[in-house]
A and B are shown apart, each in its own frame.
Chain A
Amino acid sequence: MRPTIIVEDLSVAYGDKLALEDVSFKMLEPGFLSVVGPNGSGKTTLLKALLGIIKPIAGYVEVLGYKVPTERYKLRKHVGYVPQRERVDPSKPVLVKDVVLMGRIALRGWGHPLLEADYRAAMDALKAVQMEDFWDEPYAHLSGGQQQRVLIARALAVNPQLLLLDEPLSGVDAVTQEVILRALKAKADEGVLLIMVVHDLNPVVELSNYVMLLNRRVVAFGKVWEVLSEQLLSDAFNRRVSIAKTDGKLIISGFDHHA
């Protein structure tokens, strides 16, 4: 399987409104791509187009060697997906173990019960985000940050070749951010391809190999040092964004409140 993503001239529309226009980029080796852009810039739409959940009006998408959306069901054994936490209703009566085991369901297929190996993979995934003590806890009883970690564990339980994450750091405290980023870095080090939508580049700037600035079109895409310029960031966000270096660390300021 080729650890690649090829997107050429991708356009996606909701009704008569274009959400993505002529988006092209290639990732030909494993890496960590952070996608940033203002509200409504098409970040989530890009993830959904890569997954084949929405049908593009034009363009070509190939993920891990499979054409999307036509071959998207062949992708399922290799993809972990973390949606925005706010889109998951926490009041549903499920336990933490139920949620994490959901990551193994598509692997097994219908009519096939989950096996001991599935339970082991789910527990390992929970350990990776330091949530193993919550195995039998109701999901509804967890804090927002803990719920986020469980959703990430569900994606990790797939043992994916590609991890797609939609704002996994949104609304979580610094300690949780650190736990999540450590788990993701471990996956990236194993050769997993990671694409993460973020609204603030600061926590992930050192982990990212690639950055995409998106505002319906690709404003910039490339290695971190190629993309991180005040001019490009300001162009992407339609406002002044500044970069400063403090104690050897890059601090980017001027993003939207919620980009």
Chain B
Amino acid sequence: MLDVILHSFIWRAIIAIAIAAAVSSTVGTFAVLRGFSTLSAAITHSSFAGASMAIICGVNPLLGALALSLGFSGLTAYASSANERKADVMVGMIFGFSTALAVFFLSMAGSYASAAWSFIVGDVLGVSWSDLLTLLTVSIISVGSTCLFYKEFKFITFDPEAAEAMGLRVSAYHYLMTTLVALFSVVAVKVVGVILATVLLIAPAAAAYEFSHNLEGMILLSLAISMVSGFFGFFLSLAVNLAPSPLIGIAVSAAYLLALVASPKRRRCGDLARHRVVKGA
């Protein structure tokens, strides 16, 4: 295995996983706390449609993924700022429409179809230096924006009504957050593919939530969980000679399930409920 690790494509894969983990911990934390899980899945599917479209147009697929996911994230942000029912309908529509678009472009892809299919399950071993540069640029924008607007994001995540009342432009920050989810989806489709991108975004942050009482702690723990489970899945795939993306996805999901079982918050809720029953009796 050691001689395998010495190859440059392995190092590119390691860097890509680290980038995805960094973006997922910052963007994913706010996505989980703001209830963006389904919205993230819809946006990720639209990035797949964009990548497929770019492939048949002969453009860099990551740019295609970026264009379509940004467009659809804007649409969902607009719909969800109107009302919850509209947002729910819009998310459902984007799911179906972007999948239909992807299949449509795939059917036109001909000899390029295999390149497009790689976005479904990801191709972390096939990440090129130019892909890495794109991923790095996207992640710097994404993590940088989160740092720049961190305190505003925190306020509107905790109490959007008071944030609006006290002068924050909540709808603008809402658009920005969905844009960051779109940026993440571009990073994630290359690393783990469209199917597992949402898991990579949501699971580490959701696992970290179970052990965190402050936002900074949640982000750091989420980063640790996504790094450890991401690398664990990747190196396991090398050891057993299987595709890395599914094993990364399984490792991240397993981390979430373990967190649920060990959650002190869940135990605290259980203790409170028991305390109330005893008190009531």
Contacts and interface: CB of A to CB of B under 8 A. Distances in A.
Interface of A: 48, 51, 53, 72-73, 75-77, 79-83, 87-89, 92-95, 98-99, 101-103, 105-106, 108, 110-111, 114, 138, 140-141, 151, 154, 158, 164
B212 interface: yes
Contacts of A75: 167
Contacts of B212: 93
B154 interface: yes
Contacts of B164: 51, 53
B157 interface: yes
B209 interface: yes
Contacts of B149: 110
B161 interface: yes
Contacts of B154: 94, 98, 102
B34 to A, nearest CB: 10
Nearest to A53: B164
The 3 closest A-B pairs by CB, nearest first: A76-B167, A138-B213, A81-B165
A102 B165 CA distance: 12
Nearest to A141: B213
Contact of B214 (A79, A89, A98, A103): A98
B43 interface: no
Nearest to A87: B161
Contacts of A92: 33, 157-158
A112 B213 CA distance: 25
Nearest to A112: B151
A43 to B, nearest CB: 15
A67 to B, nearest CB: 15
Nearest to A72: B167
B143 to A, nearest CB: 15
Contacts of A99: 158
B161 A83 contact: yes
Contacts of B159: 83, 87-88, 102
Contacts of B92: none
Contacts of A105: 151-152, 155, 166, 168
